[in-house]
């Protein structure tokens, strides 16, 4: 009798999810209408945001298409953001953090007048649109669940197709001269774009575990198996990319998230991690070859070349920053002045391979200070919210992982497709009545 009742409840829950996908709950629509949150359960803005975010992995691929002076993916990011602004502008509720973000955007624009490059400045401003749109357009747990479901459908498709091409061995992005290690980029424009897209799937999967609803038992098993196999496929892609930033970001995220989600799964994860590291020690040493070499050497030059020469680059750019005048130290020299496309006014400045150092040089102490203040406020906001602890651990895991990757590489600030997804996830913690929406996991 109990089993029959459980099956009926699961069946009802599954059909209720399908009903939400098309019409939404009548009681919820009634509540939303009379509380002034929205006049309809699913708005045009919600669907535009869902489609926009779901297509992000597609437009991170190597698409050799152009629309005038823009690449196709730049046009997608620019015009998609423009439509999101139009749809969200009347719904945005400006709180203290929203105003700080808005001030940061204005500061970005101000730097255009003293050396900033328009393209790079726009690339770093556009992701904030996803934060404002998410905070304004998502009003319920169902919104979060459905938009994540849409995104997972796209990501799973991209992951499997990408893994297939890597398995066939036709998408080598580069070969490390010293070790002969082949680094694959799959179907993406670059190795790093592929690796970080695979990592973002972990973020989405973890969040979906917290907001999902139970389904029919047989369907639930098949769906769970598909998601797990997709996670393994994404791990395979990250491994074949040999992108160390993504590998470490992956480990940091899952260790923190599982600590709050399930201690048993955390123990299993750490046990497997140790076993794989021991069994595949040779592969680990090959991927982190210059780090091992630096640790075993007493040569300062070899130590500086660890991490693909990052230590040397950081020293070089910090020395450049120290030689700037006081005004430039405070306000920066403008974004887009690093690397081969940088300005010649200050001489050639190598790419920092450190998003925080890039902000320091481009926006000065002021810009970097504002950004770090935003991260601190985000952290405090997440841990102080009255909601299920699992959601707190998820937010802290994403934030910690992203901050680490920003420090060691060009990641979730200068890469627009990654920054958009990061600010989407952070925007969830600023939706209306977030404490009640995320009360249970």
In a domain, 230, yes or no: yes
In a domain, 319, yes or no: no
pLDDT for 242 equals 95
Percentage of residues in the chain having pLDDT higher than 90: 59
Domain that holds residue 83: 30-287+352-437
Number of domains in the chain: 1
In a domain, 386, yes or no: yes
For residues 333-351, average pLDDT: 71
* HEC profile of the chain: CHHHHHHHHHHHHHHHHHHHHHCCCHHHHHHHHHHCCCCCCCCHHHHHHHHHHHCHHHHCECCCCEECCEEHHHHHHHHHHHHHHHHHCCCCCCCHHHHHHHHHHHHHHHHHHHCCCHHHHHHHHCHHHHHHHHHHHCCCHHHHHHHHHHHHHHHHHHHHHHHHHHHHCCCEEEECCCCCCEEECCCECCHHHHHHHHHHHHHHHHHHHHHCCCCCHHHHHHHHHHHHHHHHHHHHHHHHHCCHHHHHHHHHHHHHHHHHHCHHHHHHHHHHHHHHHHHCHHHHHHHCHHHHHHHHCCCHHHHHCHHHHHHHHHHHHHHHHHCCCHHHHHHCCCCCCCCCCCCCCCCCCCCCCCHHHHHHHHHHHHHHHHHHHHHHHHHHHHHHCCCCHHHHHHHHHHHHHHHHHHHHCCCCCCCHHHHHHHHHHHHHHHCCCHHHHCCCC
Cα separation of 51 and 151, whole Å?
A: 8
| pLDDT at 89 exceeding the cut of 90 | no
Cα separation of 151 and 224, whole Å?
A: 16
pLDDT by residue (tens digit) across 3-26? 444 444 444 443 444 444 444 444
| pLDDT at 274 exceeding the cut of 90 | yes
For residues 104-121, average pLDDT: 92
For residues 167-173, average pLDDT: 89
The larger pLDDT score, comparing residue 7 to residue 63, is at: 63
Residues constituting the chain: 441
pLDDT by residue (tens digit) across 294-320? 888 888 888 888 888 899 999 999 999
In a domain, 131, yes or no: yes
Cα separation of 272 and 278, whole Å?
A: 10
pLDDT for 367 equals 96
In a domain, 122, yes or no: yes
Mean pLDDT of the chain: 85
The larger pLDDT score, comparing residue 65 to residue 370, is at: 370
For residues 106-130, average pLDDT: 92
pLDDT for 111 equals 93
In a domain, 71, yes or no: yes
Q: How confident is the model at residue 38 (pLDDT cuts 50, 70, 90)?
A: very low
Q: How confident is the model at residue 329 (pLDDT cuts 50, 70, 90)?
A: very high
For residues 263-284, average pLDDT: 95
Could you tell me the pTM of the whole model? 0.86
What the block records as the tokens of 81 is: 């953001």
In a domain, 224, yes or no: yes
pLDDT for 253 equals 98
Least confident of 57-61, 272-276, 312-316: 57-61
| pLDDT at 188 exceeding the cut of 50 | yes
Least confident of 21-35, 221-235, 311-325: 21-35
pLDDT by residue (tens digit) across 238-252? 999 999 999 999 999
Q: How confident is the model at residue 427 (pLDDT cuts 50, 70, 90)?
A: very high
pLDDT for 23 equals 44
| pLDDT at 402 exceeding the cut of 80 | yes
Cα separation of 428 and 5, whole Å?
A: 35
In a domain, 281, yes or no: yes
- Max mean pLDDT range (7-11, 39-43, 104-108): 104-108
pLDDT for 216 equals 52
Cα separation of 190 and 3, whole Å?
A: 51
pLDDT by residue (tens digit) across 351-367? 888 999 999 999 999 99
For residues 141-150, average pLDDT: 93
| pLDDT at 68 exceeding the cut of 80 | no
| pLDDT at 178 exceeding the cut of 60 | yes
């Amino acid at each position: 009798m109990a089993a029959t009742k459980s099956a009926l409840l699961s069946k009802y829950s599954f059909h209720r999810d399908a009903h939400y996908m098309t019409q939404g709950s009548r009681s919820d629509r009634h509540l939303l209408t009379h509380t002034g949150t929205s006049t309809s359960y699913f708005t045009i803005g919600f669907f535009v945001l869902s489609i926009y975010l779901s297509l992000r992995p597609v437009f991170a691929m190597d698409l050799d298409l152009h629309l005038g002076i823009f690449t196709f993916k730049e046009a997608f990011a620019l015009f998609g953001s423009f439509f999101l602004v139009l749809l969200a502008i009347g719904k945005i509720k400006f709180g203290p953090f929203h105003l700080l973000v808005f001030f940061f955007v204005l500061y970005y624009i101000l730097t255009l007048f003293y050396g900033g490059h328009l393209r790079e400045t726009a690339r770093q401003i556009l992701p904030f649109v996803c934060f404002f749109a998410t905070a304004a357009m998502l009003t319920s747990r169902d919104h979060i669940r459905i938009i994540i479901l849409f995104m997972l459908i796209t990501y799973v498709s991209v992951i499997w197709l990408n893994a297939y091409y890597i398995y066939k061995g036709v998408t080598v992005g580069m070969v490390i001269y010293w070790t002969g290690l082949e680094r694959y980029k799959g179907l993406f424009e670059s190795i790093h774009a592929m690796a970080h897209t695979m990592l973002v799937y972990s973020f989405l999967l973890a969040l979906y575990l917290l907001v999902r609803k139970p389904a029919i038992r047989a369907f639930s098993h098949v769906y769970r198996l598909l998601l797990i196999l997709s996670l393994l496929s994404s791990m395979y892609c990250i491994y074949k990319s040999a992108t160390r930033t993504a590998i470490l970001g992956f480990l940091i995220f899952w260790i923190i998230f599982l600590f709050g989600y399930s201690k048993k799964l955390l123990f299993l994860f750490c046990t497997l991690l140790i076993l794989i590291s021991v069994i595949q020690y040779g592969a680990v040493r090959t991927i982190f070859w210059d780090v091992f070499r630096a640790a075993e050497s007493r040569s300062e030059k070899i130590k500086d070349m660890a991490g693909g020469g990052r230590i040397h680059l950081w020293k070089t750019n910090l020395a450049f920053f120290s030689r700037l005048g006081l005004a430039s130290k405070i306000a920066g020299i403008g974004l887009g002045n690093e690397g081969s496309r940088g300005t010649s006014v200050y001489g050639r400045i190598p790419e920092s391979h450190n998003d925080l150092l890039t902000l320091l040089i481009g926006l000065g102490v002021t810009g970097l200070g504002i950004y770090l203040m935003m991260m601190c406020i985000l952290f405090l906001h997440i841990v102080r919210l009255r909601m299920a602890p699992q959601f707190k651990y998820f937010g802290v895991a994403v934030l910690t992982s992203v901050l680490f990757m920003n420090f060691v590489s060009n990641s979730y600030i200068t890469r627009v497709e990654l920054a958009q997804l990061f600010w989407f996830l952070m925007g969830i913690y600023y939706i209306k009545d977030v404490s009640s929406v995320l009360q249970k996991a």
